[in-house]
Amino acid sequence: MSEPLFRSCCICRKRFKPHPRLGNRQRTCGRDERQKRRRCANSRNWRARNPEADDADYRRIRQRDRREYRRKYWATHPAAREKHAAYMRRWRAARVRDPYRDTAIKLPVINSYLQVTDVRDANRVIEVKVLSQNELSHVLHA
């Protein structure tokens, strides 16, 4: 039996022609906002069916299990461990250092210095520490 040429979007109910590779698995018309609503609904349904997954204990147990799995895997697969270690060395070497990391800025109002210790652009986290003159001299001469 052949597949229908057109389907209805499960969000907006408009008819669309499914992508040839997706066929019957395609649920939405493909617009980004429709896909986002479908994914949100799927997440909401999954959380409703699995309420224990939102528990902190559950997350901690899952994280512990994954950590143990990784330790066992690296212990029993030395070639994979070496390959991954080499990949991580190349990745860290290619990473561009942030020019604002470990810089000191003069704050004239309170006569102290602000040391920026970590800047992460991805989530806009900036870690800073207020230094006195004495602490600044130790940082600059270290």
Token pair, residue 30, equals 């493909």
SS3 assignment, position 9: coil
Q: What is the mean pLDDT of the chain?
A: 79
86 pLDDT more than 90: yes
127, β-bridge pairs: 118
Q: How confident is the model at residue 77 (pLDDT cuts 50, 70, 90)?
A: very high
Question: pLDDT tens, 39-70?
Answer: 999 989 988 998 887 778 888 888 888 989 98
What single string gives the DSSP state of each residue in 112-139? EEEEEEEEETTTTEEEEEEE-HHHHHHH
Domain boundaries, the chain: 7-49, 51-94, 103-141
SS3 assignment, position 43: helix
**Whole-prediction pTM:** 0.41
